[in-house]
Amino acid sequence: MHELGIVLHVMKTLEDLAPEHNITSIGSVTLEIGEVSGIMYEQFTDCWNYFRKRHPLLEKSELKIEILPAVTFCEDCRKTYETVRYGRTCPYCGSGETYLVTGNECSIKEIEAE
């Protein structure tokens, strides 16, 4: 139940930010989530729809998830490739000296205030 904890943190962050921006109701929340961040989108949305009812600020908020593709960089041949397709081993030179460049993100991109 990893998603549950993250949903609660997002809600807390938004409640803390709302007064700074004079917001009393949020219409939508857009999250940017990396393809290999480990977050299950469906469970996340279910948790969101359950818990938003408890927060007047978020009651009507629609959750939008933008998925960022995962890209890995090879230190040996200096090329990048699709992480989900090839994993940790570089498809060009077979090296294992690779690291993830993007795909692990979890951030609140923007909100729409009503």
Partner 1 sequence: MPVTIELHKTITASNDADARALREELSRKGILLVNLMSSPGSGKTTLLSRTIRDLPEISIAVLEADIDSDVDAGRIERLGARALQLHTDGMCHVDAGMTARGLEVLGEEGSDIVFLENVGNLICPAEFDTGAHKNVMLLSVPEGDDKPLKYPLMFRKSDALLITKTDALPFFTFDTEAAVRRARRLNPDIRIFCVSAKTGEGMADWEEWLLSCMN
Token couple for 85: 């397709």
* By the rule CB under 8 A, 36 interacts with partner 1: no
- Do residues 108 and 13 lie in contact, with contact meaning Cβ atoms separated by under 8 Å? yes
C-alpha atoms less than 13 angstroms from C-alpha of 74 in its C-beta half-sphere: 19
Binding residue (CB under 8 A) for partner 1 from 19, 24, 27, 77: 27
Interface with partner 1 in residues 61-100 (CB under 8 A): 88
For the CB of residue 107, give the shortest distance to partner 1 in the complex, in Å: 5
* By the rule CB under 8 A, 24 interacts with partner 1: no
Task: Give the residue ranges of DSSP H helices in 1-114.
Answer: 2-17, 41-51, 83-86
Of 4-12, 54-62, 63-71, 77-85, which part binds partner 1 (CB under 8 A)? 4-12
Task: Choose between 12 and 93: whose C-beta lies nearer to partner 1.
Answer: 12
Tell me, what amino acid is at 80?
A: T
Task: Choose between 33 and 81: whose C-beta lies nearer to partner 1.
Answer: 33
- Residues near 78 by Cβ (< 8 Å), separated by ≥ 6? none
- Do residues 98 and 88 lie in contact, with contact meaning Cβ atoms separated by under 8 Å? yes
Residue numbers of the site for partner 1 (CB under 8 A)? 1-2, 4-6, 9-10, 12-13, 16-17, 21, 23, 27-28, 31, 38, 88, 106-114
